[in-house]
Chain A
Amino acid sequence: MARDSLGDFEQLILLAILRLPDEAYGLRIQEEIEERAHRTASLGMVYTALERLEQKKFVSSWSGGATPERGGRSKRFFKVEAAGMRALQKSLAATKRMAAGVEALVGGSR
């Protein structure tokens, strides 16, 4: 897979981050994917994908404050960078182009 291309799960992660401005951290991203995409995602999956996206410079992160319910551990918040946004646009556009003309076939699949 090309370095700037996105996998299916990576695409969901980037969309979840965009949906959660200023509160995109591991658990919230996982919840968002489960609620909206109806996909089961473990925290391990989410953090592995986030690490990969950060290596590709598609997202950046910063550390937040510690809270008691996290056992005193801090949250790591994520933000989509310009490169990530471009990759996401490219990926969504490709899906749209591929789906064009066959919407009637795939429309009622869910």
Chain B
Amino acid sequence: MSKPGRKYELRSIIITHYLDDHLSSGKHAFMVGDFGTGKTQALATIFVEGQSDQFFFESLLNVPHHGSATAGNMVLGPPKLAEFFMLLLPMKYREELIGCAEEEYWTRSLPRLGGRRAQVIFWTQMIHAWLIFLARPLAGIAGLAGMGKVVDLLLARLLK
């Protein structure tokens, strides 16, 4: 059943519960090992597309706690670095934004477009969120510059 695998990086996976807690819908299966609390809670999510529980179990056995794992069609989560950069966003609802980006990754991008493109979309969301944040003060500066020009024009007319 397992195909020649691709290598996926896994960081600190702790599996706290097994098949009872994985939600299976014909095509996709989720399993979540949840540890930690609050905003910094670490979460290991394993996503297996279109595979039986047997394969799911075998895949888990191949996953070491630290290092890389080789598994057939196993696809791991959204890019952690992009997620980290999102966490640095000085926005009120950044946690919710990351949650939505992750939901989009698992439920929309990954099933429709595959792992690589889903990861690109996740990165794009992060970059876009930062650009919007950075553009706000720049827009303010542009506004000030515009005001400055108006003042210059008025002064020039008055001084003539």
List the A residue with the shortest CB-CB distance to B39: A73
List the B residue with the shortest CB-CB distance to A63: B96
Known: A51-B93, A76-B93. A43 touches B32 (CB 8 A): no
Q: Which residues of B have CB within 8 Å of A75? A: 96, 99-100
- In the docked arrangement, what's the CA distance between A86 and B131, Å? 31
Known: A50-B93, A51-B91, A69-B107. A26 touches B100 (CB 8 A): yes
- Cβ distance A50 to chain B, nearest Cβ, rounded Å: 7
- In the docked arrangement, what's the CA distance between A91 and B110, Å? 38
Known: A43-B104, A43-B129. A68 touches B23 (CB 8 A): yes
Task: Pick from B93, B103, B106: contact of A47, CB below 8 A.
Answer: B93
Does B95 interact with chain A (Cβ within 8 Å)? yes
Does A89 interact with chain B (Cβ within 8 Å)? no
Q: Is B30 a contact partner of A69 (Cβ separation < 8 A)? A: yes
Q: Is A47 a contact partner of B45 (Cβ separation < 8 A)? A: no
Task: Pick from B41, B97, B132: contact of A26, CB below 8 A.
Answer: B97
Size of chain A's interface in residues, with CB distance under 8 A? 22
Known: A50-B93, A73-B102. A44 touches B107 (CB 8 A): no
Q: Is A42 a contact partner of B125 (Cβ separation < 8 A)? A: yes
- Cβ distance A65 to chain B, nearest Cβ, rounded Å: 11
Most buried by B among A25, A47, A67, A74: A47
What 0/1 readout, one digit per residue, does chain B (87-99) give for beta carbons within 8 Å of chain A? 0000111011111
Give me 13 other A-B pairs in contact (C-beta within 8 A), A44-B128, A70-B99, A72-B32 excluded.
Answer: A25-B96, A25-B100, A27-B104, A42-B124, A43-B101, A43-B125, A44-B97, A48-B91, A48-B129, A48-B132, A68-B23, A73-B102, A74-B96
Residues of A within 8 A of B (CB): 25-27, 30, 42-45, 47-48, 50-51, 67-76
Residues of B within 8 A of A (CB): 23, 30, 32, 34, 41, 43, 45, 77, 91-93, 95-104, 106-107, 124-125, 128-133, 136
